């Protein structure tokens, strides 16, 4: 049978999850920067203005009550 008590998430696991979330955000920012740079290059070659898409950040996850 399983225990009726809940296991608490360790700080190490929470830190790993936060680091992963931050890495994913940085990767998304780099991807958007590359797309914008490519669009600006096309604009310079074609002479037409490029409208940048607005970046909407996902809502922060609420931390569980301690």
38: in domain: yes
Task: Decide if 52 is inside a domain.
Answer: no
Task: Give the pLDDT confidence score for residue 38 in this predicted structure.
Answer: 93
| pTM of this structure | 0.54
Of the candidates 37, 61, 33, 66, which has an alpha carbon nearest to the alpha carbon of residue 50? Answer: 37
Let me know if residue 27 belongs to a domain. yes
Task: Look up the domain containing 38 and give its range.
Answer: 11-45
* 55 assigned to some structural domain: no
Say if 50 falls within a structural domain: no
Q: Is residue 15 part of a domain?
A: yes
Tens-digit pLDDT profile for residues 43-57: 888 876 656 666 666
* Letter string b/e over residues 21-39, b meaning 16 or more CB atoms within 10 A of that residue's CB: eeeeeeeeeeeeeeeeeee
The total domain count for the chain is 1
Q: Is residue 31 part of a domain?
A: yes
Asked if residue 17 belongs to a domain, the reply is yes
pLDDT by residue, tens only, the chain of 66 residues: 566 678 888 999 999 999 999 999 999 999 999 999 999 998 888 876 656 666 666 666 665 554
């Amino acid at each position: 049978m399983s225990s009726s008590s809940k296991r608490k998430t360790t700080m190490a696991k929470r830190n790993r999850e936060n680091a992963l979330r931050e890495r994913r955000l940085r990767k998304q920012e780099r991807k958007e920067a590359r797309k914008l740079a490519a669009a600006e290059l096309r604009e310079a070659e074609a002479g037409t203005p490029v409208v940048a898409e607005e970046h909407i950040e996902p809502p922060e996850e609420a931390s569980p009550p301690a």
